[in-house]
């Protein structure tokens, strides 16, 4: 081990500071959310009023909620919602018809067995 030591003089540069203003990760879209909800409600009521089958009310409501949730993730949610809602409601109607057909067929099979 060496017996001599060398003293080092530390020199620091002047402190540098930056003024940073935090920015939100996602832009505030509160007014768009309200408009999206209004549009969803208006379109949903139109579809519910044009539906004569009460068994479709819940699937149509679910379709509207799904369409709004998907549309919200896109930059142009208000433009996208009507198209998505039409697609989701068409899927819900098709699923409902399929379920009715399965129920009717299984009911007929049960009658034949009994």
pLDDT, tens digit, 9 for 90 and up, residues 22-65: 776 655 667 777 899 999 999 999 999 999 999 999 999 999 99
- Is position 5 within any domain? no
Confidence category of residue 16, pLDDT binned at 50, 70, 90: confident
- Is position 105 within any domain? yes
**pLDDT of 98 strictly over 90:** yes
- Domains of the chain: total: 1
- Single pTM value for the model: 0.66
User: Which structural domain range is residue 83 located in?
Assistant: 30-113
Q: What is the pLDDT of residue 111?
A: 82
- Is position 101 within any domain? yes
- Give the C-alpha separation, 88 to 80, whole Å: 12
Nearest residue to 35 via CA among 71, 7, 88, 89: 71
Nearest residue to 58 via CA among 95, 7, 15: 95
- Is position 70 within any domain? yes
């Amino acid at each position: 081990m060496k017996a001599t030591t060398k003293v080092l003089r530390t020199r620091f540069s002047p402190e540098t500071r930056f003024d940073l203003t935090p920015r939100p990760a996602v832009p505030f879209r509160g007014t768009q959310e309200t408009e999206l909800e209004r549009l969803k409600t208006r379109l949903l009521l139109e579809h519910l009023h044009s539906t004569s089958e009460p068994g479709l009310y819940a699937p149509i409501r679910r379709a509207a909620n799904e369409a709004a949730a998907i549309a919200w993730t896109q930059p142009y949610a208000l433009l996208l919602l009507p198209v998505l809602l039409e697609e989701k409601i068409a899927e819900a109607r098709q699923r409902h018809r399929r379920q009715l057909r399965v129920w009717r067929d299984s009911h007929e099979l049960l009658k034949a067995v009994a």
